[in-house]
Amino acid sequence: MRRWLRRIGLCFVALAVAWMAGFAWFIRNAGQAADMPPRADGIVALTGGADRVATALHLLADGRARRLLISGVGGAAEFNALAHLAGADASLAPRVTLGRTALSTHGNAQETADWVQSYHIESLIVVTAGYHMPRALAELSRAVPSVRLMPVPVQPTAWRDGMGLAGFRLLAVEYSKYLAVGAGLSGFVTRGADRPAAPHAITEHTGG
């Protein structure tokens, strides 16, 4: 009995060490700055923060892609209101699709897959928070396996002077969600506070 308990204890220790090593990698990647991506067929911005929408709109205005999907837009939000808050030109409207069906990262991926098929997208710039990017890419790579994905991580405004305890806790939760998605358990991963964007509330949330 003691031998089995010792083995079980060692397994738990090994799992804890592996989780912490992976978490250290996750934190480092979450804080990396984005490089200017090459040109692509399309851009998708996963809502949850004003900086995500603004970054995607500016990439579109710079000619980095022909079209943009803003996935997870909620309520009665319209493009002009989102563009105004993001400081973008309203004339971009014909090239922007507001996706209103996604309520989770998994939903973002499914919404993106439908859009990609409609517009024959073969390469896609992905804009979301740095801490959310690994899970977003995992979901998207399954939903659109033939599409080339180019990540553009955005750092939350609230974290630029240090993430604090709440930010560290969020990273731990998001890393656990990423592992769950990697294990094929997307259906058990909830969205948390990452809600669809409304025109009066596209500020950076802390739920990814």
pLDDT at 70 over 90: yes
Higher pLDDT, 5 or 21: 21
Residue 111 lies in a domain: yes
Average pLDDT over residues 94-102: 94
Residue 49: the pLDDT is 72
Range of the domain at 124: 31-188
Residue 26 lies in a domain: no
Angle in degrees, CA 23, 109, 79, rounded to 5: 110
Residue 126 lies in a domain: yes
Residue 8: the pLDDT is 79
Residue 166 lies in a domain: yes
pLDDT tier at 145 (50, 70, 90 boundaries)?
Answer: very high
pLDDT digit string (tens) for 99-134?
999 999 999 999 999 999 999 999 999 999 988 999
Q: What is the pTM of this model?
A: 0.79
- CATH code of the domain covering residue 179: 3.40.50.620
Q: 171 phi and psi, to 5 degrees? A: -60, -40
Residue 63: the pLDDT is 94
Residue 160: the pLDDT is 61
Higher pLDDT, 204 or 158: 158
Give the least confident one: 2-16, 50-64, 95-109.
Answer: 2-16
Cα–Cα distance, 81 to 137 (Å, whole number): 28
Residue 1 lies in a domain: no
pLDDT digit string (tens) for 149-199?
999 999 876 666 666 777 778 888 888 888 888 777 766 665 443 444 444
Residue 200 lies in a domain: no
Structure token digits, residue 180: 């769950």
Domain count, the chain: 1
Collapsed DSSP state (helix, strand, coil) of residue 135: helix
Residue 187: the pLDDT is 61
Other Cβ atoms less than 10 A from the Cβ of 194: the count is 24
Average pLDDT over residues 72-87: 84
Cβ atoms of residues 46 and 128 within 8 Å: yes
Residue 44 lies in a domain: yes
Residue 208 lies in a domain: no
User: How many Cα atoms within 13 Å fall on the side-chain side of residue 137?
Assistant: 16
Cβ atoms of residues 132 and 208 within 8 Å: yes
Residue 122: the pLDDT is 97
Contact partners, residue 58, CB within 8 Å, separation at least 6: 86, 88
